């Protein structure tokens, strides 16, 4: 059998095999490209130092508790303010000179990205509410470019903020000094879904984590 005859004989098979390979590669690519759902974080999944001892064992049904705090404009901010919203939360204080300025700058970056997205908001809690009065928060908000309709800086009862931080957002360490509600805030940003569930933790000082957070916001929106 000549080479030409051999080629003609197996030409159809070769064509079929090539098409089959292309289809298989395309299917695999599509499977790998599908966005995986974000985890739903429970207290048992988070470092114990960030979680109140009463809920460290909790492995399901965790949600952000109701709250009532005061923002930079003296307005009462509650869970209803964030009803049916995806939001990013953190803990800070206005006189912090270490990680807070970096975190606030990154929150500002997120604000720019979501400025026209009605589904997404931001929420920053002061861990030194006696110092961070409404007037102090307003001054800080103006300095940092906070847009009121997108981003609330909140102050209020220290016990409530402490319990939100340790029992809801799973985001701060206890101080071990001073009064029982003293806390050490971390660099964590928390992504909260429309069902009041934690869907992600991010290092608010790292640009790559901010990029990942913005990607995860889009994933959450697709999920809704």
Q: b/e for 11-42, b at 16 or more Cβ within 10 A?
A: eeeeeeeeeeeeeeeeeeeeeeeeeeebebbb
Give the alpha-carbon dihedral of 103, 108, 110, 111, to 10 degrees. Answer: 140
Gap between the Cα atoms of 123 and 55, Å rounded? 23
Distances (CA, A) of 178 to 129, 170, 183: 15, 21, 9
Which spans in 115-206 are helix H? 134-144, 158-163
Q: Which is nearest to 210 in space by CA: 134, 95, 107, 125?
A: 107
Q: Please indicate if the annotation marks 21 as binding a ligand.
A: no
Q: Please indicate if the annotation marks 185 as binding a ligand.
A: yes
Q: Please indicate if the annotation marks 96 as binding a ligand.
A: yes
Binding-site residues sit at 96, 100, 185
Binding-site residues for Cu cation sit at 96, 100, 185
């Amino acid at each position: 059998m000549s080479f030409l005859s051999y080629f003609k004989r197996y030409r159809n098979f070769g064509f079929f095999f090539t098409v089959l390979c292309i289809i298989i590669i395309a299917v695999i690519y599509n499977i790998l490209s599908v966005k995986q759902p974000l985890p739903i974080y429970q207290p048992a999944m988070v470092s114990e130092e960030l979680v109140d001892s009463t809920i460290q064992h909790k492995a399901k049904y965790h949600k952000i508790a109701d709250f009532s705090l005061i923002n930079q404009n003296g307005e009462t901010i509650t869970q209803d303010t964030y009803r049916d919203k995806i939001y990013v939360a953190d803990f800070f204080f206005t006189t912090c000179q270490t990680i807070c300025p970096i975190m606030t700058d990154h929150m500002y970056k997120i604000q720019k990205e979501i400025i026209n997205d009605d589904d997404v908001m931001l929420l920053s809690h002061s861990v030194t509410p006696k110092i961070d009065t409404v007037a102090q928060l307003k001054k800080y908000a103006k300095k940092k470019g906070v847009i009121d309709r997108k981003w609330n800086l909140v102050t209020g009862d220290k016990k409530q903020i402490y319990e939100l931080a340790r029992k809801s957002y799973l985001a701060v360490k206890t101080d071990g000094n001073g009064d029982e509600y003293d806390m050490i805030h971390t660099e964590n940003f928390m992504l909260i879904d429309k069902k009041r569930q934690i869907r992600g933790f991010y290092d608010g000082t790292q640009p790559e984590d901010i990029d990942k957070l913005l990607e995860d916001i889009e994933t959450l929106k697709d999920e809704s």
